[in-house]
Amino acid sequence: MIKKIFFTVLFLVVGVKTYSQNQFHMSQSMMYQPFINPAVIGSYENLNGALFYKNQWTGFEGAPEIGGFSINTPIKKTNHSIGLTVVNDRIGVSNNSDISGTYSYKLKFKNANYVTLGVSGSMMLMQSNLAELDIIQEADPIFQSNTRTFVMPNAKFGAYYFRNKFYFGLSMPNLFKNNIEISHFTNFDPSNIHYFIHSGYQFDLNKDWEAQTSVLFKHVAGAPLQVELNGQFVYNDLIGVGLCYRTSQELIAMLNYRISGQLKVGYAYDYNMRTIGNYSNGTHEVVLLFDFIKEKTVPIIEVPRF
């Protein structure tokens, strides 16, 4: 009973923070970076996308579950790209969805240096099933019914530089602040903007093996800086094995396999080294990538990708 009450309170707190920050958490974002930076879609030369599902803190009823997909394509014979991303994040009784339309423009400089700029317009759908909660005061009318669905706008911005086997990106995944109190409203609050910085490099070890490294920084005012360090070895562009360490004290094991020239599947297992790790069965995440490569009349831009 005590544990059930504890997690009910936890999910309510997390739900309120989700309303204000509205950021989902993906362990294998390095495999498909359009999920964290809208500008990255401009680095692809063909129709591409990804589907993912994440079950966090397995073993707890109502633990966070996240799922979504993204599909993007360049516009033929131009430097423009467009895309669509849909992500659903359910935590306890709170259910939040993000629907984003993305546009990116690619700039080419000397010596095969490229910069892409991207923007997304988002619609946030937020709803809570309060009637599902176990409450002490049965007569409290607030918890007798579910909330209506709140629809709130937001926007994202990103910039991305890549050359040969190196990339560097900056993104702001929420330019506006969404709030739900007695009513809901959206406003511009610079102190609430999240900043993501990500970078990576691919090392060719020999003709069969390569090492892929990347780092991701996440920052928002009022919260500690979070850093993710990723590294994996890839054999013959077929199978990859790697590890990630997150400064929120999480260790992540990753495995991915290329099914064909157009499909790749990845799996990640997160182990939380904090107290909650003693009571859960870890976090599982699966991602499926597709990249519909067409016959090229010009050289393919080589961008390091997990």
What 100-104 contacts at long range (C-beta under 8 Å, 24+ apart), as own/partner pairs, is: 100/38, 100/156, 102/34, 102/38, 102/41, 102/72, 102/156, 103/38, 104/38, 104/39, 104/40, 104/41, 104/42, 104/80
Q: How confident is the model at residue 148 (pLDDT cuts 50, 70, 90)?
A: confident
Q: In the beta sheet, which residues pair with residue 4?
A: none
pLDDT at 294: 56
- The pTM for the full model equals 0.81
If phi > 0 it is left, if psi is from -120 to 50 it is alpha, else beta; for residue 111 that is left
Instruction: Indicate if the pLDDT at residue 126 is higher than 70.
Output: yes
Instruction: Indicate if the pLDDT at residue 132 is higher than 80.
Output: no
What is the tens place of the pLDDT at every residue in 42-100? 999 999 999 999 998 777 776 788 999 999 999 988 999 999 999 998 887 788 899 99
Q: How confident is the model at residue 18 (pLDDT cuts 50, 70, 90)?
A: very low
What is the tens place of the pLDDT at every residue in 32-43? 999 999 999 999
Instruction: Indicate if the pLDDT at residue 251 is higher than 90.
Output: yes
pLDDT at 190: 67
Mean pLDDT of all residues belonging to the chain: 82
Q: How confident is the model at residue 7 (pLDDT cuts 50, 70, 90)?
A: very low
Instruction: Indicate if the pLDDT at residue 300 is higher than 70.
Output: no
pLDDT at 145: 59
Instruction: Indicate if the pLDDT at residue 296 is higher than 60.
Output: no
Helical ranges in 29-112 per DSSP H? none
Over range 148-152, report the average pLDDT.
Answer: 81
CB 196 within 8 A of CB 171: yes
Q: In the beta sheet, which residues pair with residue 94?
A: 91, 128
Q: In the beta sheet, which residues pair with residue 200?
A: 167, 214
Q: 2-263+272-291: what CATH class? A: mainly beta
Among residues 81, 62, 67, 185, the alpha carbon closest in space to that of 124 is found at 185
pLDDT at 116: 97
Among residues 196, 34, 31, the alpha carbon closest in space to that of 103 is found at 34
Distance, CA of 305 to CA of 202 (rounded, Å)? 8
H/E segment holding residue 20 = helix 2-21
Beta 94-109 vs 80-91: how paired, if at all?
antiparallel
Distance, CA of 169 to CA of 159 (rounded, Å)? 6
Over range 273-292, report the average pLDDT.
Answer: 85
Distance, CA of 167 to CA of 180 (rounded, Å)? 37
- Each domain of the chain, given as residue ranges in start order, spans 2-263+272-291
Q: How confident is the model at residue 151 (pLDDT cuts 50, 70, 90)?
A: confident
pLDDT at 13: 41
